[in-house]
Amino acid sequence: MAEKSIVVLISGSGSNLQAIIDAIASGQINGRIAAVLSNKADAYGLIRARTAGIPEIIISHKDYDSRESFDAAMIKAIDAYQPDLIVLAGFMRILTADFVRHYRGRMFNIHPSLLPKYKGLHTHQRALEAGDSQHGCTVHFVTEELDGGPLALQAPIDILATDTIESLQQRVHSAEHKIYPLAVEWFCAERLTLSVSGSVQLDGTTLAPEGYQFTQE
C-alpha cells in the first residue's frame, strides 16, 4: 500500500503534531507529513515542523476579509501537496462548510472531551464542575458542525477526587498523544474510513457512535 500524504493544521504548541511526527519516525504510521500549515507565524509547532524537515505554510486569517477567502487560500495551498489526509491539531479557526465538504472523509480533529459532551472550550473545567466521573478526548471525522462529526476513537480517563483543571488537562493531553497517532495509523493503513452514509468503519465493521474505545493499559 502506498504511503499516505498528510497535511497537519496547527495554531499553537503542536504537541499532537509532534506525537504524529514521532509515530512516523518510529514506523508506526505508513505516511509522511507533506506540510504543516499554521495561521499563526509564531506557533511553536512550526519549529517542530522545521526541526523535522517538514515544509511550512503560513496563512494568516488576518490577511483575508472573510472566512470564505481565507479557507479558499488554505485549500489552494493544501491541495498543492495532494494530501490523502488533513489533520487538525489545535487549529483554532472555525472552518467554512465549503472547506469541510472539500475534505469529507479525509479530515480528522481531536477534541479534549468525550464528545458529544463538552463541545467548544474549557472542557476540563466543565467536566470537573459537572462532577463527572470520567473525562477524556476524542478523534472525529470533521463535518460542518463545530466539534461534531462521526466519532472515530475515544480515550476515557477517570477523574480523581484530587484532580485540578491542570492535572486533568495533562492526563487528557497525554492520552491525545496516543489516540491521534493511532487514528492516523489506521487511516493510512486504510483500516479506518467514513462511509457515504456517515458511519465510521474499522476493518470493515461499523463502530458504535462513540467510536473505538481506547483504554490505557
Query: Are 141 and 107 within 8 A, CB to CB?
Result: yes
For 11-133, list the strands marked E by DSSP.
31-38, 56-58, 85-88, 107-111
Window of 65-73, 77-85, 104-112, 186-194 that interacts with ligand GRF by CB under 6 A:
104-112
- Is 112 a binding residue for ligand GRF by CB under 6 A? The answer is yes
Distance CA 117, CA 39 (A): 27
Distance CA 92, CA 106 (A): 19
Contact pattern from residue 135 through residue 154 relative to ligand GRF, giving x for each residue in contact according to CB under 6 A and a dash for the rest = --x-----------------
DSSP 62: G
Window of 76-84, 106-114, 160-168, 185-193 that interacts with ligand GRF by CB under 6 A:
106-114
Contact pattern from residue 83 through residue 102 relative to ligand GRF, giving x for each residue in contact according to CB under 6 A and a dash for the rest = ------xx------------
Residue of the chain from 4, 102, 106, 111 that contacts ligand GRF (CB under 6 A): 111
Residue closer to ligand GRF (CB basis): 28 or 201: 28
In whole angstroms, the minimum distance from the beta carbon of 121 to ligand GRF comes to 10
111 is catalytic: yes
Burial of 126 (0-12, 13-18, 19+ CB in 10 A): middle
Residue of the chain from 16, 39, 96, 154 that contacts ligand GRF (CB under 6 A): 16
Catalytic residue from among 102, 111, 124, 177: 111
At residue 108, the 3 state secondary structure works out as strand
C-alpha pair distances (Å), 215 with each of 58, 70, 110, 159: 36, 38, 17, 14
Active site residues: 111
Residue ranges that bind ligand GRF, judged by CB under 6 A:
12-16, 89-90, 110-112, 137, 173, 176
